[in-house]
Amino acid sequence: MRTVFTIASLALPLVASAAEPPSTYAEVAAIVALAEAGEMTADEAFALVSAAPGAPLAGAALGRLRVLKSHRIAFSGLRFLEMEKGFAALNAYVKGHRGDPLPHVWRGASAFETDFVLWSVASAREDIRLACELCRDDPSLPDQKSRCKLILGLMAKNEGDLETALRLWAEAFAADPVGPYGKEAAAFLELFTG
């Protein structure tokens, strides 16, 4: 299963151009990655994954995409409901797939983006640490490891612990110097160093 992340990166252009409902784990992961990167709207991605509810990872992907969709909802009550549905879907999926790092990363990232309103700081940190563990020995997952370190660094920075943040961003950069998360970590390192 872990090699799917490599496949996901290869599948990105394919999914983007075809815009067909996904059928494999890698394709579902690729659609979510496109939505996270802003290269596809969360609504479009949600429609694509909704068309294949039986696809592997679809349950978690729909949850993650709901959270991404909620960022665009102006009215806070509706936004909250959409977020709540997203977390419910992520929680349900994670419960049955504890060994899969990607849903943990998605839930941790969703919690961070939504100010931990529905998923606490401690739970999000635990999710990301677990995902980091699951990714650690797999050389095919540098981007997710880098992403985990990046988010943990941002959480440390928000809590006022700059020293830990800088260390984690350095690790994020080292894990994947050419990937998007590694580059983002490098930018933070530069910005937060005098």
Q: What is the binding site for other proteins (CB under 8 A)?
A: 76-77, 79-80, 115, 117-118, 157-158, 160, 162, 166, 191-194
Q: How far is the CB of 52 from other proteins (least distance, A)?
A: 32
Q: How far is the CB of 74 from other proteins (least distance, A)?
A: 11
Q: Are the C-beta atoms of 2 and 137 separated by less than 8 Å? A: no
**Closer Cβ to other proteins, 61 or 165, answer by number:** 165
Nearest to 150 by CA among 178, 114, 180, 120: 180
Q: How far is the CB of 163 from other proteins (least distance, A)?
A: 8
Q: How far is the CB of 162 from other proteins (least distance, A)?
A: 5
Q: How far is the CB of 57 from other proteins (least distance, A)?
A: 28
Q: How far is the CB of 79 from other proteins (least distance, A)?
A: 8
**Closer Cβ to other proteins, 80 or 180, answer by number:** 80
**Closer Cβ to other proteins, 7 or 170, answer by number:** 170
**Closer Cβ to other proteins, 2 or 167, answer by number:** 167
d(CA 130, CA 125): 8
**Closer Cβ to other proteins, 54 or 194, answer by number:** 194
DSSP string, the chain: -TTHHHHHHHHHHHHHHH-----SHHHHHHHHHHHHHTSS-HHHHHHHHHT-TTSTTHHHHHHHHHHHHHTT--SHHHHHHHHHHHHHHHHHHHHH-TT-HHHHHHHHHHHHHTTTSSS-HHHHHHHHHHHHHHHHT-TT-HHHHHHHHHHHHHHHHHTT-HHHHHHHHHHHHHH-TTSHHHHHHHHHHHHT--
**Closer Cβ to other proteins, 38 or 77, answer by number:** 77
